[in-house]
Structure 1
Amino acid sequence: MDLVPAPLDAHRYGDGKCIALGPDTALCAGPGAEQAERWLRAELAAATGFRLAPQEQVEGHAIRLAVHPLVTEELGPEGYQIRVSPNGADIFGGGPAGVFWGAQTLRQLLGPDAYRRAPLAGRSWHLPVCQIQDAPRFGWRGLLLDVARHFLPKYEVLRYLDLMAAHKLNVLHLHLTDDQGWRIEIRRHPRLTEVGGWRERSMVGFRAGERRDDRPHGGWYSQDDLREIVAYAAERQITVVPEIDIPGHSQAAIAAYPQLGNHDVVDTAALRTWTDWGVNPNVLNVEDATLRFYEEVLEEVLEIFPSPFVHLGGDECPKDQWRASPAAQARISELGLADEDELQSWFIRHFDRWLTARGRRLTGWDEILEGGLAEGAVVSSWRGYAGGVAAARAGHDVVMCPEQQVYLDHRQAEGDDEPVPVGYVRTVADVYRFEPVPPQLREDADAARHVIGTQANLWTEMAEGPREVDYRLFPRLAAFAEVAWSQLPADPGERDLPGFQQRLAGHLARLDALGVEYRPPTGPHPWQRWPGVVGRPIDGPPPNV
């Protein structure tokens, strides 16, 4: 049935027998299934042209959606069962999310044309007589979209939410601020978007190429835009986790409000939103006023995003300015800290306590381990597995997203045809072999339970628009989705890669119907290449660290 991600168990019956759907097909929902019913009705009505009456009709088959306590008990709230028989199709979920994921699978069963926005002439619609039972391996199945380096308009973010839902991913990590742009409206501090929301030009490729586009780039989301994104995601059982990066990756904010920077050692009034890529030396100062400023920012963030998690970055924060700053050194002395690493830990811990007091949990990159782990924080382990292993053994929850494995901005093949070749070669097969729980933790069941999920990250320095984002995400995101959802063997060598590749060939037709500009298996189309733009490839296989 070419299902992606692969379900726990699926069987076809009746020697390939199918049931036909038609104008008399009904769509019915029980309590708890209303969201899935709204979504499925809209999608199938658009693709088929059928009315899909809400009440069951004798003349035609019915699709019935319901939350069922036995499914809840056996498969959990995100689990589901599908039964297609001569009487119609039943989707039983362990909760609203389970019903929704079952509806996504039902759409796959109808074929690629079920993903179109208008009915095509001469099409007929059939469901195979079958039974499917399914549930996810991980509760956190995430995708990071970096909208700070290159802004994505709201309608594109909504499109990626649809694509995430189609692959049963349930966390959108929205990277909203960085040195190169501030993308969220903060009403008490409007210069964050007025000044930090755009830059004069952008680096094309990496620094060694000495190439600029000399074109202003910018954009930001109003608070109502973000509320719409959050509501749209919630209808698709997706949580949006906002990221406000501190204390590093903050030049856009410092350009808007120079008092936030280390003004005792740098002329922060001369800074502009950064036009380069890479690690920036300009970081936040550690004054009380800066803490208050970001508390005010976060107060507005919490009003927009109901997510229990708020990501505060904490990564790639050079300490040179703090070492040179009399104010930072005085703070270290005042607090009795050992060094600048502990100063960063103190900074992060402040916001950990602040968020905890408001019923939220801080999430940060694995640098938050340096100088002492913030209490209660969730670690996003990006510099390999080591940070996640250490955090899990210390009793902290972990999202595994190692750069060497699931940074999908990394190149997909060797050779000059790959546009702006970055990082390691990560093929579809490589992503499919990624295992979120490394051997060190599989030997420690208590620590392994702290791996609450996994996430693929798409950084957009080299992806200036949705066509480039599509190219870098797909079809690798389909492989990642199966790793995050399906009960695959922990040993990557035991995984059925040929079977996945066969199913993926059928899945590409769904992506075609959705208009996704993925990388073809044979290599990029001519218009997907970017000849002459210098990248930063890393030679050799990525280390498993």
Structure 2
Amino acid sequence: MILLPRPVSWTADGTEIDFHGDFRVERVAGPVEGYRLSVTREHGVRVQASDAAGEFYARQALRQLSGPAAFRAVPPGPVRLPVCEVVDHPRFAWRGAMLDVARHFLPKHDLLRYVDLLAVHRLNVLHLHLTDDQGWRFESKRHPRLHEVGGWRPDSRFGDRRSGGTAGRPHGGYYTQDDLREIVSYAAERHIAVVPEIDVPGHSQAAIAAYPELGVSGGPVWTDWGVNPNVLKADEPTLDFYRDVFDELLEVFPGEVVGLGGDEAEGGDGRFVRRMAQHLVERGRRPFGWDEVLDAGPLPASTVVASWRGEEPGLRALDRGHDVVMCPEQHVYLDYRQSDHPDEPIPVGTATTLEDVYRYEPAAADRVLGAQANLWTEHLDSPRRLDYAAFPRLSAFAEVVWSPPDRDEAEFLTRLAEHHLPRLDALGVEYRPLDGPRPWQALPGVPGFPR
């Protein structure tokens, strides 16, 4: 079997046909996002799809069957296809990846490329962490100092914060509203929903630097990593300011789900989270928050909870009637180091190998919306570093959330090495090789903090 993620069923007779690019598509009843792809000597290629997303995923499968060269910017002409039948549909409705563009800004063209990589893996949610202590990446026309002041910092910690090292250069950037509308439309064409997140009441130092009256105390955009104790005030003027900010966000992002953070706010402030969540509901949206929001008091029933501190908070959220996305740090934080190899660059967190990600099985799988992998970018300061951290572990995660649960690790590793890594090569993805980092992927002497 050469498809990745692995389909529900696959049959092949070992023969091939020439394929010149033409095929028939028929809409049929079936599972959401599902498809049937048939390649026969008599009829060539036929696709039956239950909806537009199913047709899109059938085209992705056909691209995979066409060989790695089909993933190049200029694909080849006629190709040989195996005579086969593929029947497929996803296991989970939410198959997500979170990308932190606040700690290190990812230029628009690189973000669009990342959307393409999610589409290749049939992931359908891009969660954008747009604001944090270290940067504000959303253009606010109503409060322009947010991006003008909060969008850059004079320096950055380089390596683990305990080392005291710094990069010695400014960092910044933000997405204009037109940029973000373009990203949303581009993703929608690939059946990917973009979930924006503005983090409150903690992780807000970039906003406080722009408008000091918002914070419990003042200070500049943070140049360090970790948890900043400064949080937003929970007074009415600050709440009104953020209602205004979220209203502006909603003008750009039409999707139903909108993130409000709620995590790692020292001392917490449930009133702020509750009021912002209610505001989003009044605007016809669904709040999405990290699992600390469960401690904020009664939340709107439509709130989606991202369970990152293990899976127990997610189980509690389910018991309270909330939809849940599982994203436990010990399983799917892809910024964590990939092995105990001494050349792993800036080794932080627990060792989370490719095999560890593949073995992850979401708790309460029959009750949750799905799962997502998270990429925090404190130590991922370029697209090359992002590629190294994400792949091929994100490929393994894609199979976890798409494919049936009866997975075969050895078969997956063979399929990955023989068929899928050549596709990533054709796409120009600078992934981590299975046997360890290449010399230029290591960062000798830059300290991490492995656990």
Q: TM class by shorter-chain length?
A: over 0.9
Q: Report how many aligned residue pairs link the two structures.
A: 448
**Taking every aligned residue pair, what percent have the same amino acid on both sides?**
57
Q: For residue 350 of structure 2, what is the amino acid of its counterpart?
A: Y
CA deviation after TM superposition for structure 1 residue 416, in Å: 1.9
User: What is aligned with 1:9?
Assistant: 9
CA drift of 1:373 comes to: 4.3
1:20 lines up with 2:24 in the alignment:
no
Whole-Å Cα distance in 2 between the matches of residues 509 and 167 of structure 1? 14
Correspondence 1:274 to 2:274:
no
TM-score normalised by L of structure 1: 0.81
* Letter of the structure 2 residue corresponding to residue 198 of structure 1: W
Name the structure 2 match of 1:174: 128
Q: Give 1:457's aligned residue.
A: 374
- Displacement after TM superposition at 1:402 (Å): 0.2
Aligned: 1:496 with 2:451? no
Tell me what 2:295 maps to: 370
What is residue 55 of structure 1 aligned with on the other side? none
Q: Which of 291, 300, 318 lines up with 2:239 in the alignment?
A: 291
Q: Following the alignment from structure 2 to structure 1, what is the Cα–Cα distance between the partners of residues 61 and 38?
A: 12
1:92 corresponds to which letter in structure 2? Q
| In structure 2, distance between residues paired with 1:478 and 1:426 | 14
Alignment of 1:468-487 (within 5 A): 468-487=385-404
Q: Which runs of 5+ in 2 are unaligned?
A: none
- Name the counterpart of 1:153: 107
1:438-457 correspondence to structure 2 within 5 Å: 441=364, 448-449=366-367, 451-457=368-374
Distance across 2 between alignment mates of 1:115 and 1:19: 20
Determine the structure 1 residue equivalent to 2:430: 517
- Which letter maps to 1:478? S
Which amino acid is 1:401 matched to? Answer: C
Q: Quick one: which amino acid aligns to residue 442 of structure 2?
A: R
Deviation of 1:68 after TM superposition, in Å, equals 1.5
Q: Write the distance in 2 (CA, Å) between the matches of 1:169 and 1:249.
A: 27
Report if aligned partners of 2:181, 2:253 keep a CA contact under 8 Å in 1.
yes
| 8 Å contact from structure 1 (residues 345, 374) kept in 2 | no
Q: What are the Cα deviations for residues 312-343 of structure 1, in whole angstroms up to 9, with x where unaligned?
A: 00000012xxxxxxxxxxxxxxxxxxxxx5xx
Deviations 1:206-228 (A, max 9, x none): 12211111200000000000000
Residue type at the aligned position of 1:465: S
**How many Å separate the matches in 2 of 1:85 and 1:248?**
57
Aligned to 2:358: 432
In structure 1, C-alpha distance between the alignment counterparts of 2:276 and 2:355, rounded to whole Å: 40
C-alpha distance in 2, partners of 1:94/1:521?
Answer: 36
Q: Deviations over 1:38-66 (max 9, x none)?
A: xxxxxxxxxxxxxxxxxxxxxxxx31223
2:274–2:297 Cα contact (<8 Å) kept: no
Cα deviation, 1:137-174, whole Å, max 9, x if unaligned, reads: 10000000100000000001100100000000000000
How big is the shift at 1:250?
A: 0.1
Alpha-carbon contact 2:273-2:296 (below 8 Å) kept:
no
Match for residue 248 of structure 2?
300
Distance 1:388 1:119 in 2: 43
Instruction: Give the aligned residue type for 2:96.
Output: G
Please, which runs of 5 or more residues in structure 1 have no aligned partner? 26-61, 320-340, 443-447, 490-494, 539-545
Offset of 1:190 from its aligned partner? 0.3
2: CA distance, partners of 1:357 / 1:288: 17
Query: How far has the Cα of 1:372 moved from its partner?
Result: 2.0
Secondary structure, aligned partner of 1:17: strand
| Alignment-derived partner of residue 394 in structure 1 | 320
Q: 1:187 to 1:371 in 2, by over 3 A?
A: closer
Partner SS state of residue 18, structure 2: strand
| Aligned mate of 1:413, from 315, 339, 350 | 339
Q: Which amino acid aligns with 1:294?
A: Y
1:200 aligns with 2:154: yes
Paired residue for 2:47? Answer: 91
3-state SS of paired residue (2:187): helix
Asked if structure 2 preserves the Cα contact closer than 8 Å seen for 1:77 and 1:96, the reply is no
Aligned to 1:213: 167
**Equivalent residue for 2:35, pick from 71, 80, 83:** 80
Tell me the TM-score normalized by structure 2: 0.97
Query: 1:511, CA displacement in angstroms?
Result: 0.2
Instruction: Render the CA deviation track for 1:12-38: whole Å, top value 9, x for unaligned.
Output: 13xx2211123xx4xxxxxxxxxxxxx
Contact kept in structure 2, 1:345 and 1:373, CA below 8 Å: no
Amino acid at match of 1:19: I
**1:358-409, Cα deviation, whole Å (9 max, x unpaired):** 1100010000011424122111000001110110111111000000100000
Instruction: Report deviation, 1:119.
Output: 4.4
Q: Which digits, 9 at most, give the CA deviation of each residue in 1:63-113, with x for residues without a partner? A: 1223223xx2xxx22011001112221111111111111111110000100
Among 300, 308, 313, which residue is 1:382 paired with?
Answer: 308
Q: Does 1:115 align with 2:63?
A: no
What residue in structure 2 maps to residue 492 of structure 1? none
**2:261 aligned residue (306, 310, 313):** 313
